Amino acid sequence: MDLDLQKVKRMPIMIALMMGAFVATLNETLLGNALPVLMKEFQVGATTIQWLTAAYLLVVGTLIPVTALIQQWFTTRQLFSLAMITFLIGTILAATAPNFVLLLVGRVIQAIGTGIIIPLLMNTLLMIYPPEKRGSVMGVLYLIFTFAPAIGPTLSGIIIDVMDWRWLFYTIIPVTIISIIIGYVYLVNVTTITKPKVDVLSIILSTLGFGGVVYGFSSTGNAGWSDPQVYLPIIVGGLALILFAVRQLRISNPILELRTFRFSLFSLSIILLIIVMMSMFATLTLLPMFLQSVLLVTAFQSGLMMLPGSVVNGLMSPVTGKLFDRFGARIIIIPGLLIVCLAMYLYTGFTLESTNLQIILTHCLLMLGVALVLVPLQTYGLNQITPEYYTHGSAIFSTLQQVAGAIGSALFIATMSARSRSHLAQSSNPNDAAEQLTASVAGYSDTFMFGFVIAIIAVAVALFLRKSTKAKQAG
């Protein structure tokens, strides 16, 4: 499809897409501090209430792979409108839900819209901006993708303190409506509508595969690795993904074109993305737990302590995009990973005597390093593939971000729990509260050391990045 970039009104398109992405990704963490309130409101336990978050991530993770196919059936405007109207319906239902079941249904409907909008946004920006400007645009994109979820817990803490929990949903309704209107007026179609044959078996395998893996790892927070609730979904999901991959390589119209991995530098970028996202999401999960369970600060206070790091990350994302456009990937990604290594090492030194300033500055350092890595990495990876693979490449990136985040969080939490128990077993009085706290601190330290080792591996992998950022035909 030939798209005349001179006639495309990029700014209103960017505004519509960014507003949609902001409210969609914000909702991944917006209910964080509201869960205890909702438990009392609907008289449900912790294992039930956590599905308001887990179900959201689960639906997003399973739906994203299918969007590469959906984008070949509907125009960009149709798909954007469908995604945002779906998200709006889910938001209204959640805001007015009289019971937990309808609130959960509202969250699932929201997640369907989110699962469509994220890869659609990435593919649209790839198509309307030339390669030499994509770094800057991806920087703004990552400002949304990282800043919105990061401020979710802080924002929910403020709203819960001063208003009813339903305002968590009421406040995003006007933004969603404005995004729909702007998108309807200015969005142009950026894909070729081919209406390929829908392979139902592939969709089933994709849903079972990604859904099973995400569900299994997400369940580790409430159950151990030996619990069938954890290992059975992971096994089933893994087998389904293998069958899914084999089928995609054999059929003429795959829903996710795995031949995209034939571009070697794209594949290398994916490996780095998985490592970095595992470390980042795991740390963002562990740090609030450390603050609240060890240092005994409130959820709202922990959210405020993490906010400066989110601001640093948000402000740096557009800057790193511009740096990528000017200097390329290696010169930004490798220093960024070294900063992540330093931050992870400093995390290992957190103790009961750690000050708020020490924790805030270390977190800011980590988020600075992440900002230097993620924007150039994804832009670099997508620049390696040819236009016919853009929808599939962006879907692969988006899917693996969700999966890597879930897996990373689960691995780190499981490691922390196991190491804490090990240290407590070696103590002289395991029933003593002080000994338990000391063992917990040691467990967190060991886990952050594990993250430090993973970050070092990422530096080693990044050394294989080449300077070229021009797509070459896959061999």
pLDDT tens, position by position, 39-93: 788 887 655 776 777 677 677 777 777 776 777 777 777 888 888 899 999 999 9
Residue 305: CB atoms within 10 Å: 20
Distance of CA 223 to the CA centre of its chain: 23
Nearest to 176 by CA among 63, 9, 53, 21: 21
Query: Do the domain assignments include residue 202?
Result: yes
pTM for this predicted structure:
0.73
User: Do 140 and 205 belong to one domain?
Assistant: no
Most confident of 6-20, 93-107, 189-203, 414-428: 93-107
Query: Do the domain assignments include residue 472?
Result: no
Q: Is the pLDDT of residue 473 over 50?
A: no
Q: Region 414-418: what's the mean pLDDT?
A: 77
Distance, CA of 77 to CA of 69 (rounded, Å): 16
Residue 75, domain extent: 1-196
User: Which amino acid, one-letter code, is at 279?
Assistant: S
Task: Give the domain-ending residue among 252, 268, 294.
Answer: 252
328-344: b (≥16 Cβ within 10 Å) or e: bbbebbbebbbbbbbbb
282-295: b (≥16 Cβ within 10 Å) or e: bbbbbbbebbeebb
User: Which amino acid, one-letter code, is at 140?
Assistant: V
User: Do 191 and 291 belong to one domain?
Assistant: no
pLDDT at 474: 43
pLDDT at 68: 67
252, two tokens: 């003429």
User: Do 327 and 419 belong to one domain?
Assistant: yes
Side-chain-side CA neighbours of residue 276 (13 Å): 33
Distance, CA of 133 to CA of 47 (rounded, Å): 46
Nearest to 304 by CA among 145, 156, 167, 472: 156
User: Do 225 and 325 belong to one domain?
Assistant: no
User: Do 284 and 247 belong to one domain?
Assistant: no
Largest CA distance in the chain: 74
User: Which amino acid, one-letter code, is at 456?
Assistant: I
Q: Which residues are within 8 A (CB) of 388 and not within 5 positions of it... i.e. 6 or more apart?
A: none
**Domain CATH number, residue 92:** 1.20.1250.20
pLDDT at 117: 80
Distance, CA of 325 to CA of 339 (rounded, Å): 21
pLDDT by residue (tens digit) across 135-189?
Answer: 667 667 766 776 777 677 677 777 777 778 888 889 889 988 988 888 788 777 6
Query: Do the domain assignments include residue 225?
Result: yes
Distance, CA of 62 to CA of 120 (rounded, Å): 15
Distance, CA of 171 to CA of 91 (rounded, Å): 10
User: Which amino acid, one-letter code, is at 267?
Assistant: S
Domain count along the chain? 3
User: Do 284 and 347 belong to one domain?
Assistant: yes
290, two tokens: 């450390």
C-beta separation of 439 from 419 below 8 A: no
